[in-house]
Structures are given as structure tokens and as C-alpha cells.
Structure 1
Amino acid sequence: MPVSSRARPAAALVLVSTLAALGLGPAASPAVAANIPVGAGSYSDTRPPGTSGPTTNTGTPVTPKVTEAARNEPVPTNDWWSSLAFQRYGDNPYSTPMYGHPLTYQATSGGLEVGYPTTPAIVGEGRQYEYAHKADLTLGLTGLNSPDTKADSWSDWTVTPYWSDGARTLRTTIGHGLPFVYAKGSGGDARITTAGAPTVFADDGNVLGITVAGHHYALFAPTGSDWSVSGSTVTAGLGAKDYFSVAVLPSTDALATYRKYAYSFVTGSEVSWSTDAGTVRATYRLTTQPQEGTETGTLQALYRHQWLHTTDALTPYTYVSPRGTMKVREATSFTTSQQGSGVLPALPAAGGVDRARLKGYLDEAANAADPFSGATDTYWTGKALGRLAQLVPVADQIGEGATRDKLLGLLKGRLEEWFTAGGASEFSYDKQWKTLIGYPASYGSDTELNDHHFHYSYYVYAAAIVAQYDQAWAADSNWGSMVKTLVRDAANPSRTDADFPFLRGFDVYAGHSWASGHQGFAAGNNQESSSESTNLSAALVLWGSATGDTRLRDLGGYLLATESEAIAQYWFDADQEVFPSSYGHDTVGMVWGSGAAYSTWWTANPEEIHGINVLPVTGGSLHLAREKDAIRRNLAEMERENGGPAVEWRDILWEFEALADPAAAKAKWDAGGAAYTPEAGESRAHTYHWIATLDALGAPDVTVTGSLPTSAVFSRNGVRVYAAHNFGATATTVTFSDGTTLDVPARSTATR
């Protein structure tokens, strides 16, 4: 269950041109409130009566807190720094703590607090570890007293906060992996206020090395300036210049290396990706501009999920972070390469499935009095859509065409209701925040812009299953345009779309998504259900494959491969190298900017703490099988904490176990039979099919990948089974990384 915590632009021509560029067709441009046609569907350009958009915590409407230069730019909510732009608290017009790693930050009236937490605290009765922000120093200008801090510009993983009090102006550029803070100011001297009297270990006029709270910093002023230390205040005149920088050093002897890049200011960041024959490559690149001299290189610290998958040279320098050791690279870019994560619309047919029994379970789901279980809001409607969509290819697989078509009808009907403005449920565009909000909303998806990637993942997944069987329905001129509009809101691949930000929920450098739209917490941003995030990535693979949209297919492949590794390392501690040694848990339910917690937003029930990062179980969940030992540790801990086997979410956890030990999961299913209440997004039909199929085929073997994104391998007693689904209109041959080939007829699944 996700709890964490887009619409017309001002100029109709912008929307029309954007829609046309994406093949979504023309849009109306009325001068008053209206429904905007998109293909066969529509959304509204105003909220339904009685509903709310983004607000402060007391319910006061709030608009983006950005400078005039950024006024028309789509604001990337759900980021590590979003509190700069989304003022969640009326009495804090600056920011809450922001966790860039290795540095942490918080904006204040006098400038930017900077910290480097290196010692974890275990809090919350042992359930949470955190490297909480604590200011070692505050970077600013003499006399600066700004009434607020705004976001002035941003890129894929950097942001530039802005302060002005009328007489003085300050901009700083900060980001993930940046050991430097780059500052540009006017109207006053550079001023560094330290948490205590600093110890000076190096003094060369405009370059000063100081130690504060056990952490080493280097201060760089323009050539010709001189730093002056008076108690806990350090100042330097800028003369005719406007720049200075501060770096956190891994050690005092690193000063010479860091000095080389002190004036090569980072001005932007961008990731690019590609997929080829089962391999996903991504390049992370910084742009720089020298303030003096000609040096354009830089230093950047890589997270564990990145340096595990790069062959680029790294320095001996390292930093502490809540995500384990960060390693430093001396260059403006690095490239990662990792195996893709195969996605199937459903597990393939297997001999271990009792078709008569499966048919009974399918009939139970398809013929329910209310197949949507009373769902009205975006999240619970999504869960119901996902539950029914999982059963469509299963019914088709055993020849139950009537059941398949009935399920497809249910999916189409409910999707079309939501994709048509003016009814009891609709999507509405907020032109100030440039976001598409579904009403009825839930869990702060409206007031806090929470969880859009969670909620919309189910709609895209269900639409992908419909597209597999009815391509006409998914055409842009029909309902496909509304699906793409939801994608543009939650996971927009475009940086030039004037109506939605680039990858709203996904933090490309952190390697995973964030759930809170405003990031307004002392612990930074957070994400609980990483698996509902990867549900969107897997849905993009399926939707892109079913509709021939290779751009969205490959986007999904990049997001899934990247977040899969982040989940393994930061939620499940697969290598047992991330969680502090003093932390007494093998898995966490939530990751925070400052650390992680063995908890959820709504319950302390161990079954749900463990299960929330598994559901929904689909053909996009196979990536979890990469770390089978972590699955075993995870489930063992659940039983210890639970005081016995799962009861409430037994189906989710059985399915999880089947990814590592299908026989054990099958034994539990056989012992318990069907005498349980399925989790809200699950059904007996799907759980039985999943467990019985894996028991017959074996657990996923993710050491072998296929040339088609919709392929997978299973292994039982040393025997591999190769599977792939071909969405294309002609037969294709899939080549696997072990040399095996598989011929797959058009629009079908094949196994070998």
C-alpha cells in the first residue's frame, strides 16, 4: 500500500505541439474550463468540484517555489530536493534536509547548511538506521538574510537553490555524488560559518583546509583572495569575481587532487541509456564550466549499485553514505553495464498446473459480484485492474477464451471510465504543477503529489495486457493516447516536454524512485513499495512491446534493471554490505534519504513489511530471483518477527518464496489449500498458477538473458527452460546469452 508522504499548460499551442510530437493527436484549446480530448479519451483542465490540488500541511493551496527563470519549467516533484520547490510547511520557506550523498544540505535564511554524516544512529526501537543531516558548516554571504529559498534550475540529479534579500544574491549547485558545493554570489563576501571552531590543516591564501566535527573540508575562493578565520566564521572577499566552492575531502592528503577541480563548476547532469541483446548500458555525464583556468574535469562519487556495474577507473577515495561505500571517479562521466531483467506477460504453460482447478479459480474471479471490490480511488482501482489483468493471459493459456474476453471487457470498461473526463472518476491536469491527478485521489496523490508511479503503474500494466489482445484499442487514435499521458506524468522520457517533468518519480542517480511529492521530512524523501515502482517499469516494457513503441519499451528496461539492483542492495542488503553492522534487520520496508526503516506507513505487521516490496507479483517480478539467498534471509526474518509463518499475506510471500525455492512454496500451498483470503491485488487463480508453474519449470535463472526484453529462463535440477513472448506480427528468433535459440511465432509465447 503506497502512502508516503497533469493537464493543460497556460498556452494551448504548447500542448497541441507536444501531443502532435508524441503522436497523440490534436487537442482543443478552450478559453474556459473544458475537457481536453486525447484520442478517444479525455482529461479535464480543472479539478472536479470539492477536490484539492497540492497544499501545505494545513491545507493551504501552494504553487511551485521557483525563480522567474524557472517559472514555466515543469517542476520535478518526487525528487531528493523537492522541498526547495514544494513548500509543505507554511513556516518553512527554505527546505527540509536534503540528502545528496555524500553531503547533506538544508537551506536557511543565511545560506546552505552542509553536512557529512558518517556515524549511523539506530532509532525507533531498533527499527530504523539513519545518517541524519547535521550541519558542519553553513555556506553563504556576509549579511545574507533571504526571506526564502527557491529552485532556480535543475538537471537530472543536480539542483541550484537561490537566495536573495534585495542586496545580496546567492546561487549554489549541489547534487548526488558531488563532493563540491559550487557557489555564485553578489553583494557580500563569501562566508562560511562552522558548527564549532575549525582546525586549520592547510592555508594557502585563497585555498583553506579545515576540519569540523571530524570531517575535512576545503574552501576555494578566487585567485588573489584570502580566507580569514575568526572563531567559527571564515570569510573571503570575492573582489570582482562572483564564485567560490567548498569540498568535503575523503582525507586531508586529497586536497591537491580536489584543488585541481575546485573551479570547474558543474552546470548540469544527464543520463543516457540503451538496451541491446539483454544488456542495459547507461552513461552518467556531468557538464562543467571553468570559472578560472581551463580545467573542465571533475570528481564524482558513485553509489554501490553503480560501481558494481562499471569497468571505468576509480580512485582510491571513498565516502560513507546510507547506501554503503561510495567510490570516487576522476572524470565527467562513467558508464554502467548490467543484465536486463526479462518481463513476461504471464508465466508460460507448464505441465504441473491442474487446468480444471485453475478454471475454477478463474471463474471465481471473473464471475465475482463486484470484480473491482468497491474500489473508487486511483490506487485501489489500480490494484483491482492489476488483479484482473494478471488473469487474462492465464485464461488464454488454458483455452478459456470466454473468460479471457470477459476479463478484457472488464478492464476496458473501467479504464475507459477513468480515461474519459466528466464522470465520477477522471484525470485532471494541474497547469501550475504540470501534473495529471486522478480523482478520486488517495494517499496524498493530490495534495502531496505522492505515489503517481505506484498508482499509474497498474493502469499502464492493465492497458498493456489489453493491447496484447486488442491492438486497435491501444492505438493512439483510440485509448493509447491516454495511456501515454499517464506515462508522461509518472515516467516521462522527454526533457523537452513543456507539460510534464522528466522522469517525475525516478531518481536516475539514486537508482530508484521516490514516493513523496514534496520531500518534506527530516529524513529526506522516502519510498516504501519499491515493487510497485518496478511494476511501472515492467508495464512500460509490456506496453512498448505490445504497441511497437521501442522508446517506452527500452525506458522500462533501463528503469527496471537499475531499480532492481538498487532494491537488492538498499532494501534487501543482498551483499550484506550496506546496512550498518549495528542494525538488527536483514531487510527494510522503507528507504529514506537518511537511511532505511523496518516499517511501513500503516502497520508494524512483519508480513506486510516484507510483502510490500514484493507486490504485485507479475511477470515483471522475475528480477527478484537474482538474489535467492536474500529471499531466504528475508523470509526467515519475517517468520522470526512474525512468530511463525505468514497468515494475512501468505499468498504474496509464498509467491516470493517460489522465486528461490518453488518446491517449498508449493508445499505450503498444498498444506494450506485455498482456505485463505487473497491479498487485495491477488487472486487464488494467479497465486496457484504462479506457484504450480514455477514448481514445474524451476526458479527463474537470471544468469541467462534473452535478446528480447520479453523473455526469461527457468531452471530445475540443472535443466533450463527458455521462454519468450513475441508481440510482433511476424515470427522471431530469440538468442539467449548461453547460445540457446528459441523460435517464437507471431503474437504468442514459446518455450523450449
Structure 2
Amino acid sequence: MPTLPGGQVANTAPPGPFFEGHRVPLPTCTWWVGFGAPPNQDAVAAGPFPFMSQCLDDGIAFGLPTKRDFDGVSVHQPAEIDLSASFNEHDGNKTHHRALSWDDLSVTVQYYTGEHHMTAFLVPGAPYMTFKYHAATPTFRAQRGGIVEVNGTSVVRGRVVSVQGSKFRLRTEHGLFLIYSLDGPMTLLASDTRVSASASMDGVLRVAKLIHPGHEQTLDRYAGTYPTGAELDYEFSRHCSATMIFRWIVVGNPENFIQLSWPHHRKSLKSPLYLPASSLSYLTIKGWMVPVLGNTWRLEYQLPSMDFDAPRPPDPSCVPAIIQGLEYEIAALGTSSEPGDFYFWGGAIAAASQLALIAEQVGRSDLVPRVIGYLERSLRCWTDPKYSKVQAAYETNWGAVISKAGATNHHVDFGNGFMNDHHFHYGYLLCAGAVIARHNPAWLEQSNGLGTNADFLGWFARDIANPSRNDKSFPVARHRDTFAGHSWASGIANGAGDRDQESLGEAINGYYGVLLCAIVTKNRTLEDYARLLIATEQAAGIYWQLNPDADPDDIDEPYPEQPLRDLVTIGNCMQWQAGAWLFWGSQKTQIAAIQILPVTPIMEPYYDPTWVRAVLRYVRDELDDPSIGDEWKCLVYLAYSNYDPHAAMEMSKSLTAWGSGNSYSNQLYFIATRPNPSGRPILKQGDDAPVRGTFSLRLAETGRYVSSRSARPELVADADTLGQAAGFTFGFAPGGVTLCHTLTHQYVTADIGGSSPLSAAREKVAAWEIFKLVPCSDVEGVQYTLMAGSNKRFVTLDAQGALVPSADQRAAARFVLTSAPVPKNPSGRFAMQDLSSALWVSCEEGRLVATGRTPSDAAAFDWYGSSMTFRSTATGQWVTAAPDGSAPLAAARDVALAWEHFWVEETEPGCFVMRALVNERFVMTDAAHGLVNAAQSAGEATRYSFHPLRS
């Protein structure tokens, strides 16, 4: 039993009587789990396709969906519950049905009352519903409309029709059904609402819905052999391929057995014996199901060979830029990231872990330890029993690792406590843990007292990708629907209703995390299994990746509707609808990007060139829209790089943000490691060398300079001379430049709304402090426009001359960069003397006054040149200036903030003037001998000399 920081906890949705007699672990995300999930155990299940079914209190209701429509966003094919199967002796008690057994594909359900029972073999792919009766009188009730005919005999209200035979043609108001008795002739009694056997029986009945008259012969021929379940097996080869084997367990002649296949099956089936689609076929939400003859299917998959690293080294042209990005982003990691949830924290630390792998690949192993230390400190919280912001716990009703807080609230972590999205969440954590172990194998054996780190990785890996039916804590591959060919993200929340999955990319990443953990823990069995899960999940891209140019008449095209395929990407695939929509967003870039993320080496086979080209065309209008976030655009560019890395790199130059699950370094690295048959450099020489240095901004149109000061940090084009201008140090930031005020050391920030002026008002750099410096190519000389990364708007001037990020490029202000005057403040301990009066500056009750007659009367001050501050050595107080210049400078502050900064300029050898940055006024000695920041210009300022003292 896993020992986790949150201990053991039972969620508020215990399994219902359907699971009576079965122990934990129980399935939570299968196509049929709604049969046993509270509160009612009556959700319509996602199968067994081509049917959908529902466990009622008194029988199994089922139907074959035939109505299909497209609303401009989604194709719908909702459940049509036509009939229910039961037996007359059943007492209707909702506790009198249960799961008799289940396997990797199917479930067997039994309804019972005393010695009487009906067993339903619910096997996906069977074109029949199969019911086995013991000492029971079969009955079928119409669930929609009424029964109108049996074997050609009309049924009218108030009359009962008796018919005999071993095959019956039952017509309702909504379709024609074929009922086959496999154990000889029987008598059915039919009314307008139900048909029942005339007596109890031991035997098997099969029911099919006849959609096309030409199918009846096939259904007649193959009705006699039926499946009771399936065995799933795998064979792995040395050549990175695997075979998945479905062995249908049948009663009857296996050579006379058919099961229906979906498009993804037909893509992988080896030497199948297909019947013609004209003989039998059903259009379902995943496309056409057509029959395969025989009880053994062999599906072949090419397994991904990638693990931690891309399959090829980065293009040399990109390496310097990658290294520059790594140095910046790794330095910005901080001490650690404390988790407050599973999902968002997991995505962030997985993105950080990629930096270590990239650094190793570009020859900067010296950067790796900082990343590993960051990850270790962060994951230490995850395993620490004393850390309470978020805790993993073992859920005992079903058998799962969950967020403890989510056990009683299905809104926490997207329903994690009810087994939603575990593969989405845990893949990130596993990737980060595996990267630590790769670089520090001893970490696996470290423990916070509950288990080793290897144990923790194992518990989370087994939660989503347990390969063994003998595991006593976790079900087999929790989210995987092996017959459907992909995972379902839905758990048991809200009665385990609709099955759905939005992000195929995050599902792949879940199994990728398992793969990496299997590698570092040397678990070859789990490694092979994880590669198979990845390969089979990637193959399901057929249902998420749409091809507008596909042939709508192709039996292997899942969506015949041209308008749907024109939408390029399915956002959410459910058991009854699939469409270009999400629960949380409607932008086309979001719908595409959620299928792309997270971008890691394992995703390469999934980014199909045909699809990524179609995606780029489809979302082009949003890529050009500055209101659409770069965190989505960057993912579209990354996927496109699998087709054209040069174009993807060029498009990526516009980015200033990458979201919490990606990074600037990963953007460059992934593009740099794409196939490049042309051999051309992917990053042009000079593209990674933007403007650097210290400059003032001069408005090209008027010649005025931009000023900014402590008392008014906003950037305004109001200075007439370079001496009045603010200086800014242009520094590197991923995707652009930063502007740091040379005097206040504050970074320029741009409000996302575009209505407030730029302001030198941030101590640290984040997304709003990044700018693009765009050269103007239509003029002589070097001019630039400035684009704010916060809102992708260009900087212009408002009516007061303030710089605001609100224009398009045509209306942008143009600037000339002029080398800025660099302050050269003194550093060290000094005494100051007023050169006009020869009096020395002393401190009287903290105020600076020029009253000293001899050097011994002078106060000593420590000057800090880089920060442009100074303080009294006697009191340790920082010298401050009044914003209005009405009071003398005073050594009166415990901390140096905006009012405590001064610029000292040497006007001639040994002669200095001082300027207070709080009001940009120069310091002068007033009539009362006080040093006040009141002079309008350097000409009005008092000159002072600085005399070094011993510290």
C-alpha cells in the first residue's frame, strides 16, 4: 500500500453495488465505469460500440446511434436507447445487478434474482448485444416509441402476438432489430411495449440493429459465434516495434466469428481478413466500423525510440542563442517552486527540468546542477509529510493516488480526487523526477520518512500506467480504453457520465513521464509498456488531427463531414460528439495548441507534416492578432517546425512569452533539432545579437529626449538636451530586450491595457518588462520602433508626450538611440567641502549643513557609486532629499529607496555637482547653510569637493 504524505483518504463517491464482491483496485475511467459510479449507477456508457448502453434498475438498456449532425463546430451522434433487456423474474431491485468480471476490453454484467439470472457480455466491436439466460424468461422493452411488428405480424395496442422461431425481426417506431436464439426455436409474445419469451429458458439471445437491408445476410451468417470477453497480450521486438494482440474469447467456431474494427485498428492490423464494407458497416462517432473475420487480431506499432533527448543534435547555428537563453532562464529559476496544486506546478517544474537536458546537449553541463537543485528542493515538498499546501494521498474506495483536498471537492485540481486527468497531471511530475534521477541517481534512494523517491515515482507511475492485473493498489492503465485506441480523461465525477479527452498531447506526456521513470529505475518491463502506450496514444491522432483534403468517401476517414475537417483540429473527443471546442477556451490557437503541448522529444512522430501545415493555415488570422497570447502561438510554431524549421524559427522571433510549460530555450532547442535536409542554418547569423548597451531615447520626429526620474518614473519625451535625458541599459531577455534606468536601476514596464505610460518602476523582469526593438527599414540612418511584449502594441506618444504602448506599427513613434551619459558617482568614504565658501559639510541633528571651519568639523559619508546612495558613518542613516526641495538633505532613512538616490557629476577636475533624483534638482547651499535640492540647473548648483577618508 502506498505511504503518502496525505495518508489514506476515501473520496465522497464510493463504488456502488455494481462492484459488489470485488476489491480495490477498481476501474475508474473505463468506457463502462458509469455502470458502477455513484450516485445512480445509470450513466450512458461509451459502448460497447457500435452500441451505447445503460444499466437500469431492472435491465440493460441499449441502442445503436444512427442520427448524426454537424452544427458548425461539432459532429454529434448521441445515444439512442431503443430497447432494454431483462427477464420477467427480476424484482427491479437496483442492487440486484453487478459486474461479474471484466478484462482489458470488455465487461460482463449480471442481473439476478434468486436462481434466475441474465448475463450480458458487453464486448466492444461486437455487432450484436449478447445475453445469456439461466432459469429466466427473457424480455425486451421498447424504450423509445412502441413495437409495431414482429416477423411481419403487426402489433396493436391491447393485443398480444405470438410468434415462433430461432430468428425474429422486431420492428419498433425507430428501427428494425434482429433477435437470434442460439439454442433452438422459442416462442415470443409481443405487445406494443415489450416482447417476452413464453417460458423461462437456459440459452443465449443476440440482438442486432439492421441499418441496411443488405447487411441482414451477414448478420444471419455470423450470429452463431459470440464473444464472452477478450485477452490482451503484447510482443516486443528488438527493432523498437511491438504487436498488440486481441484474442476474443468466443463460444462457437472462431473461424466463423466477426468483430467490427475502427479506422485506427485498420491502420495497424496485420494480415486482417476483412469482410466488404457493403456486407456490414456502421458509422459511429469515430467513423466507420467494418467487420474483421477471426478471433485473433494482431496490431503492429512502431515504438518511439526517443527518451530524454531529441533524436539529433541541435543545428550549430542555434547553439549560441540556446546557451544565452539557458543562462538567463536558469539564473531566473530562484530557490524553488513550492507546489500549491498538482497540474500547474507539475507543468512548471517539468518545463524547468527540460532546461537541464538542453544544457547537457549544448555542452553546458555546468548549468545543470542549479536546475537539479531547484527541482530537488521543489519535489522535496511533494514528499514531505509536514508540507500541507498540497498533499498526495492514497484513495481507498477505488485505489488511486489523489490530491487529498480533492477527495471531498471535485473542483479541486480538475476533479483529481475523483480520478479525472491523472495522466495529464502525473506525467509532468514524473518527467521532472526522472531528470533529477538521471543526473543524481542517489536521489532515488533518499527519503522523507514515508518511502524513497523511487517509491514515489513508482506510485505515481503505477497510478496511470500499471501494466499488471496482479497489482493490489492500482488498476491496469487507469485511463486507457484499449479498444478505442486512446485514453479517456474522465473519471467518476458527476456519476461518470460522458467520457471525454481534450489534450491528446498531455495524455502522451503522461506515458512519456512513465517511460523516463522506467529508464532511470531500470524497469525494462515498464519501459516497454510505456513505449507501447505512447505509440498507441499517438496513433489516435487520427481522431484529433483532421485533414481537410481527405477523401470523404474513404472508409478509413473517421469524419466524412467536410466542414468539420476544415476545422483542422478536434478539441474534445467524446463518446457521442467530437468537435473544435474546449471546456475552457474558444480560440483556434488554443484548440490546436492543447493538442500540441507539452513539446518534448517524444512528440516528434505526432506532429504530422500534413496536419501542422493545415493548422498554420487555419489559425493564421489569430497568429497575426496581438490580443492572442504568445503562450499558444509558440506551440503552433513548434509543431510546424517538424515540417519547416526555418519558417518556424522566423515566426518565433515575434514571441515574448512561452507559457508556464514551455520556455525560450526549449523553443529554440526543439526547432534546432528538427529534420533539416537542406543543411541551411536554421538561425541566420546575427539574429541572436540584438542591440545592447546604454542609451538615451531621442524622438526622431522632434529631436526631444525621453526623461524619467525617481519622483516621476513615467517615460516622457520632454527633455531638450542629452543631459536632461534618462539613460537606459538595454539588456538581453528571452524574446527581446529590457530597459533598465541607469540611475534608479528600475526596469521599464508596459501596462497590458496600453493606456498608461511606460514607467521605470519594476525591480525585476517579468513578461511586461520585455520589449522588441524593431529597426525601421524605410529611412536613412538607424531608427527604431519599440513594441511592448505585454500587449504586442507599439509605443507612441500621448497628448502630454508620455510613451504609451497603444499603436500599431504604422503609427509607432520612432526613436534614435544615443549613447547615454553614465553616472560616475564616487565610491568610498569621503568628507565634502563647499568650494564657494570653503566650509565643510557636517551633520547637525541629521541635517546636512556647510558650517564646518576645519576638516575635523566635517561629517564622514560612505558613498556607494553603483547605487548612487550615501549615508552617515556616524549614524548609519541614508541621506534623503525632500521631493519639493524645501528642506535640507538629511541622514534620516533606515533603507535607501527612491528619495535616497543622487547623481554626482564632475564638472572640472576635483569639482562636483550633485543632483537629487527625487525631483531632478541640483543641490545648492542655501542662505542658512543647508544643502537643499532646489537648483534648477547645474549652473545654479553649488560645487563641492570630495576628500577621501580612511574607512
The correspondence for 2:343, drawn from 360, 367, 379, is 379
Answer yes or no: is the 8 Å Cα contact 2:261–2:292 preserved in 1.
Answer: yes
The C-alpha deviation readout for 1:224-246, integer Å capped at 9, x for no partner, is 42233333422224544154232
The 3-state SS of whatever aligns with 1:497 is coil
The correspondence for 2:289, drawn from 286, 308, 326, is 326
Q: Distance in 2 between matches of 1:346 and 1:295?
A: 46
Alpha-carbon distance, 1:377 to partner: 0.6
The C-alpha deviation readout for 1:589-634, integer Å capped at 9, x for no partner, is 1110112121112111222111001110001111123x21111112
Moved more, 527-536 or 255-264: 255-264
1:402 aligns with 2:366: yes
2:202 is matched with which residue? 241
The correspondence for 1:435, drawn from 386, 400, 405, is 400
The C-alpha deviation readout for 1:534-590, integer Å capped at 9, x for no partner, is 012223333333333221111122111111111134443585622241643221111
Q: Distance in 1 between matches of 2:577 and 2:316?
A: 43
1:302 aligns with 2:261: yes
The C-alpha deviation readout for 1:679-716, integer Å capped at 9, x for no partner, is 1111111112222333xx42xxxxxxxxxxxxxxxx44
Answer yes or no: is the 8 Å Cα contact 2:189–2:198 preserved in 1.
Answer: no
Alpha-carbon distance, 1:374 to partner: 6.2
1:616 is matched with which residue? 598
Q: Distance in 2 between matches of 1:85 and 1:568?
A: 30
1:197 aligns with 2:143: no
The correspondence for 2:62, drawn from 94, 111, 114, is 114
Q: Which amino acid aligns with 2:663?
A: S
Q: Distance in 1 between matches of 2:544 and 2:359?
A: 37
The correspondence for 1:62, drawn from 4, 10, 14, is 14
2:476 is matched with which residue? 502
Q: Which has the bigger relative contact order, CA under 8 A and spacing at least 6?
A: 1
2:586 is matched with which residue? 604
Flag the structure with larger Rg: 2
Answer yes or no: is the 8 Å Cα contact 2:416–2:422 preserved in 1.
Answer: no
The correspondence for 2:306, drawn from 340, 343, 365, is 343
Shift in CA distance, 234/428, structure 1 to aligned 2, threshold 3 Å: same
Alpha-carbon distance, 1:254 to partner: 4.7
Answer yes or no: is the 8 Å Cα contact 1:199–1:211 preserved in 2.
Answer: yes
The C-alpha deviation readout for 1:40-96, integer Å capped at 9, x for no partner, is xx555324xxxxx543xxxxx4334434332x1521111111111212xx4x34223
Alpha-carbon distance, 1:520 to partner: 5.2
- Where does the alignment leave 5 or more consecutive residues of structure 2 unmatched? 153-162, 407-411, 552-556, 682-951
1:692 aligns with 2:672: yes
1:557 is matched with which residue? 531
1:492 aligns with 2:492: no
Answer yes or no: is the 8 Å Cα contact 1:445–1:452 preserved in 2.
Answer: no
1:210 aligns with 2:170: yes
Q: Distance in 1 between matches of 2:317 and 2:520?
A: 27
Q: Which amino acid aligns with 1:453?
A: H
Q: Distance in 1 between matches of 2:15 and 2:62?
A: 27
Give the % identical residues: 22
Q: Which amino acid aligns with 1:235?
A: S
2:74 is matched with which residue? 128
TM-score normalised to the size of structure 2?
A: 0.63
Alpha-carbon distance, 1:183 to partner: 1.7
Answer yes or no: is the 8 Å Cα contact 2:347–2:660 preserved in 1.
Answer: yes
1:540 is matched with which residue? 514
Q: Distance in 2 between matches of 1:107 and 1:542?
A: 40
1:146 aligns with 2:93: yes
Aligned length: 640
Answer yes or no: is the 8 Å Cα contact 1:100–1:177 preserved in 2.
Answer: yes
1:368 is matched with which residue? 332
Alpha-carbon distance, 1:531 to partner: 0.5
1:359 is matched with which residue? 323
The C-alpha deviation readout for 1:414-459, integer Å capped at 9, x for no partner, is 2233134442243211222111113455434444210111111112
The 3-state SS of whatever aligns with 2:352 is helix
RMSD: 3.0
Q: Which amino acid aligns with 1:525?
A: R
Q: Distance in 2 between matches of 1:153 and 1:520?
A: 24
Q: Distance in 2 between matches of 1:545 and 1:285?
A: 30
Q: Distance in 2 between matches of 1:325 and 1:104?
A: 16
2:569 is matched with which residue? 587
Answer yes or no: is the 8 Å Cα contact 1:155–1:268 preserved in 2.
Answer: yes
1:393 aligns with 2:393: no
Answer yes or no: is the 8 Å Cα contact 2:638–2:670 preserved in 1.
Answer: yes
Answer yes or no: is the 8 Å Cα contact 1:96–1:521 preserved in 2.
Answer: no
Answer yes or no: is the 8 Å Cα contact 1:378–1:455 preserved in 2.
Answer: yes
Q: Distance in 2 between matches of 1:487 and 1:242?
A: 44
2:103 is matched with which residue? 155
1:675-714 mapped onto 2 (5 Å cutoff): 676-694=656-674, 697-698=675-676
TM-score normalised to the size of structure 1?
A: 0.78
Shift in CA distance, 656/173, structure 1 to aligned 2, threshold 3 Å: same
2:939 is matched with which residue? none
Answer yes or no: is the 8 Å Cα contact 1:76–1:504 preserved in 2.
Answer: yes
The 3-state SS of whatever aligns with 1:113 is strand
Alpha-carbon distance, 1:385 to partner: 1.8
Q: Which amino acid aligns with 2:529?
A: L
The C-alpha deviation readout for 1:258-279, integer Å capped at 9, x for no partner, is 4565454433223222332032
Answer yes or no: is the 8 Å Cα contact 1:216–1:252 preserved in 2.
Answer: no
2:829 is matched with which residue? none
1:568 is matched with which residue? 542
1:448 is matched with which residue? 418
Q: Distance in 2 between matches of 1:306 and 1:334?
A: 9
Q: Distance in 2 between matches of 1:367 and 1:445?
A: 35
Answer yes or no: is the 8 Å Cα contact 1:283–1:334 preserved in 2.
Answer: yes
Q: Distance in 2 between matches of 1:338 and 1:527?
A: 22
Answer yes or no: is the 8 Å Cα contact 2:186–2:197 preserved in 1.
Answer: yes
The correspondence for 2:37, drawn from 86, 90, 100, is 86
Q: Which amino acid aligns with 2:79?
A: H
Answer yes or no: is the 8 Å Cα contact 2:89–2:113 preserved in 1.
Answer: no
2:274 is matched with which residue? 314
The C-alpha deviation readout for 1:167-215, integer Å capped at 9, x for no partner, is 9643322132122222234564211123333555688612213344345
2:759 is matched with which residue? none
Q: Distance in 2 between matches of 1:339 and 1:215?
A: 42
Alpha-carbon distance, 1:641 to partner: 6.8
- Where does the alignment leave 5 or more consecutive residues of structure 1 unmatched? 1-6, 9-35, 37-41, 48-52, 56-60, 699-714, 720-752
Moved more, 300-309 or 467-476: 467-476
The C-alpha deviation readout for 1:459-505, integer Å capped at 9, x for no partner, is 22122222322333336984222211111111110011122111111
Q: Distance in 1 between matches of 2:180 and 2:336?
A: 60
2:28 is matched with which residue? 77
The C-alpha deviation readout for 1:4-50, integer Å capped at 9, x for no partner, is xxx56xxxxxxxxxxxxxxxxxxxxxxxxxxx3xxxxx555324xxx
Q: Which structure shows the bigger proportion of residues in strand conformation?
A: 2
